[in-house]
Amino acid sequence: MDIDKLKEEYGKLSEIIYFDESQYFREQTSSNQHVKKFIEDAEQAINLTLMNQERYFLYSALGYSYRVINEADQAIYYFKKCLNMAEHHPKRRIETLIRLGEAYKYADLHKKALQLFDCALNLSIDFQITNYKDFIFQHIGKCLMELGKIELAKEYLNEALKIREISGDVELIRSTQKVLDYLNN
């Protein structure tokens, strides 16, 4: 399977991904079978001769796919590969730190997840890459929620919401508001 076809298949996965309220709004899939098929195809493609950008995409897509089927160790494995590739790319590094942090959260390693989110936040400040702050705050808030630190979680989620309201992204606003509503009830 070629990379363009894999990118298309990866894009289609969003149709079967949802946030599971009963699992702290973790992303889950309604079809493990479809995600596992994508994983199988993507892992075969790793053996192809690829440009770095294509390899980064595959590692990232595999990490995400493993995470949504709750195979956190495999997700961590692939996101660490992404992180190694993103060493000299601050934007990619921030994205990968967030994704890796989420994988650690799924592995119930919340302290490590919070450290990675904090690292992503510091990089975003150092390199003045501010368009990830709402994601970082959202993920910190949800991680704190899982730890039972509800008031602190609300603070971070409210910060994410403020940023998202300014940007006007209705879907992102809705996702943050849904978690806040859950915490307030």
In a structure prediction context, what are the per-residue pLDDT tens digits for the chain, which is 185 residues long?
688 999 999 999 999 999 999 999 999 999 999 999 999 999 999 888 778 999 999 999 999 999 999 999 999 999 999 999 998 999 999 999 999 999 999 999 999 999 999 999 999 999 999 999 999 999 999 999 999 999 999 999 999 999 999 999 999 999 999 999 999 98
Using an 8 Å Cβ cutoff, are 22 and 13 in contact? no
Record the pTM: 0.93
Q: 7: which residues sit within 8 A by CB, 6+ positions away?
A: 57
Name the 3-class secondary structure at 20: strand
Residue 171's Cβ-count burial label (10 Å; 0-12, 13-18, 19+) is exposed
Which domains are present in the chain? 1-127 (1.25.40.10), 129-185 (no CATH)
Q: Looking at the chain, list the stretches that DSSP marks H as alpha helix, in order from N- to C-terminal side.
A: 3-12, 32-45, 52-68, 72-85, 90-106, 110-126, 133-146, 150-167, 170-184
